Structure 1
Amino acid sequence: MRPTSPIRLRHSTYDAVKSLIITGQLPPGARVTEAELTERLGVSRTPIREALNRLERDGLVEGRAKSGYAIACFDARTAREAFDLRATLEVQAVLLACRHASDSHHQALRAIITERDGLADQDPRFKLREFQLGMKVHRTIAEADDNRMLARIVHDLLDRCQVYVWMDLTALDNWQAARAEHRALVEAVCARDEACATQVITAYIADPRTNVVDLMEARRDLRAMAVAGSAQ
């Protein structure tokens, strides 16, 4: 077996820790240390340290002086702001992709949908991969205009939004709707249909925004009621 290269190990470790956060296996507020993650993932401290530093820049973990890290807490206001910013940037990215995407970008987008369709009705263990492919659709569209600054900003924003997207898909079981919207988005971009693509991406972002914000506010209210009840 060929040894894993340092670069690949860094990326795979980052992806592994991020997946633990996105899927709630490391819940908001949980304290984590390099030593704990090293043991859990079976890698050395160096890639763990690099992953945590990168995740801190992504807004998914917060450094704690002399006590490691804590998983960031996500609230309705942050979700609302993130989705609103996505609506602005991704509409622009979709318009540019309709105008400038190459045949190779079209092929890449269609390949993502084909792979995702193959996972749709399989074991729930494949849900994380299906989720990643859905996010890859948006990243590929952002790269299609060859505007590196826009692509980087969209990539960073998507990293910050992944917890909310996962929440919409799993807590509210919106997998089927997401599949249909991604397929419609790819078809519109490949057809260079700006009006249709804009309509699809706007709805795709607006619906989860409403769902996630409502869910987080409901959970907040339930926690407040529980605290008030215990104080009586």
Structure 2
Amino acid sequence: MTPTAPPRTRSAAAHLLREQAYTQLRRMVMLGEIPTGQRLTEEAIAEQLQVSRTPVREAFVRLHADRLLKRFTDGGYYVAEIDLFDLRDLYELRLTLELRGIVRASEDGIEHDREALLELQEEWEAIQADPPEPDGSFIELDESFHLSLLRASGNLALAEMLETINVRIRPVRTYDFLTADRITSSIGEHLGIVEALLDGAIELAADRLRDHIGASLDIVEQRAADAMRQRSLRSRRAREA
């Protein structure tokens, strides 16, 4: 008789399959490997990813929450169009909020939370030693860094506003983290900003933040445009087939 795996082991294995299905499908969407508007079927995706339909179904729900998938009126899912219309305006607003968090420490009586900055530095040194895979999941870590940095300025209202902006730009910002070299450079840039703040070099920290966010915008626009072209090409080939 074949021994049955303990419930905890089965639960961990199921969770791993769900995460793998989600990250693999998200990467396919981000790279333009699925034509825009094409109905996604659980059976086809499950076969492609070599998993059961359940983790695929859950991945659809999560990607819909990420605004990377949309739903037909009958409940089926398809890849959402990439919206770059307001991207530059939203990035400008994001930069304004984050810069304000940095430069306010140059005013009399205002300082960054040094303990919070030291904790952030330690956290990102650990991430630098063991960086995540370039599957798009780095977006959560990146958002957490920028929110923590802004909270360390002492103005929590700024952080709340940044969270709102993050929700709107997250679907396209994920394009920033699809290669290992970009993750590596982002980690280094994060640490550079924190180090400047810990040294009291406010202007240097602000300059590094500008460069960091500017580089992100350039990469996001280019990669999103590339994905749009790939999807358009695949859609045309599907129609001609």
Same fold (TM over 0.5): yes
- Aligned residue pairs total 210
Task: Please say if 1:84 is aligned against 2:81.
Answer: no
Task: Please say if 1:213 is aligned against 2:221.
Answer: yes
Between Structure 1 and Structure 2, the one with more helix by share is 1
Q: Tell which has more relative contact order, 1 or 2 (C-alpha 8 A, sep 6+).
A: 2
Seen in structure 2, the aligned counterparts of structure 1 residues 225 and 137 have a Cα distance that, compared at 3 Å, is: closer
Task: Please say if 1:102 is aligned against 2:102.
Answer: no
Structure 2 SS opposite 1:76: coil
Task: Please say if 1:167 is aligned against 2:181.
Answer: no
TM-score, normalised relative to structure 2: 0.62
Residue of structure 2 aligned with 1:150, choices 127, 151, 158: 158
Seen in structure 2, the aligned counterparts of structure 1 residues 151 and 186 have a Cα distance that, compared at 3 Å, is: same
Seen in structure 2, the aligned counterparts of structure 1 residues 20 and 191 have a Cα distance that, compared at 3 Å, is: farther
Structure 2 SS opposite 1:74: coil
| Residue in structure 1 matched with residue 130 of structure 2 by the alignment | 119
Task: Please say if 1:180 is aligned against 2:194.
Answer: no
Q: Which amino acid aligns with 2:177?
A: L
Q: Deviations over 1:44-75 (max 9, x none)?
A: x9xx98x689x3xx755545444255553223
| Residue in structure 1 matched with residue 11 of structure 2 by the alignment | none
Offset, 1:119:
1.0
Question: Matches of 2:24 and 2:166 in 1, distance apart?
Answer: 16
Q: What are the ranges of 5 or more consecutive residues in structure 2 without an aligned counterpart?
A: 1-5, 9-18, 46-51
Decide whether the 8 Å contact of 2:72 with 2:78 is kept in 1.
Answer: yes
Seen in structure 2, the aligned counterparts of structure 1 residues 90 and 59 have a Cα distance that, compared at 3 Å, is: farther
CA RMSD between the two structures: 4.5
Question: Matches of 1:97 and 1:68 in 2, distance apart?
Answer: 50
Question: Matches of 1:225 and 1:18 in 2, distance apart?
Answer: 22
Decide whether the 8 Å contact of 2:134 with 2:183 is kept in 1.
Answer: no
Decide whether the 8 Å contact of 2:101 with 2:155 is kept in 1.
Answer: no
Structure with higher Rg: it is 2
TM-score, normalised relative to structure 1: 0.64
Decide whether the 8 Å contact of 1:142 with 1:151 is kept in 2.
Answer: yes
Decide whether the 8 Å contact of 1:97 with 1:189 is kept in 2.
Answer: no
Question: Matches of 1:96 and 1:210 in 2, distance apart?
Answer: 27
Structure 1 SS opposite 2:143: helix
Q: Which amino acid aligns with 1:161?
A: I
Decide whether the 8 Å contact of 2:112 with 2:153 is kept in 1.
Answer: yes
| Residue in structure 2 matched with residue 136 of structure 1 by the alignment | 144
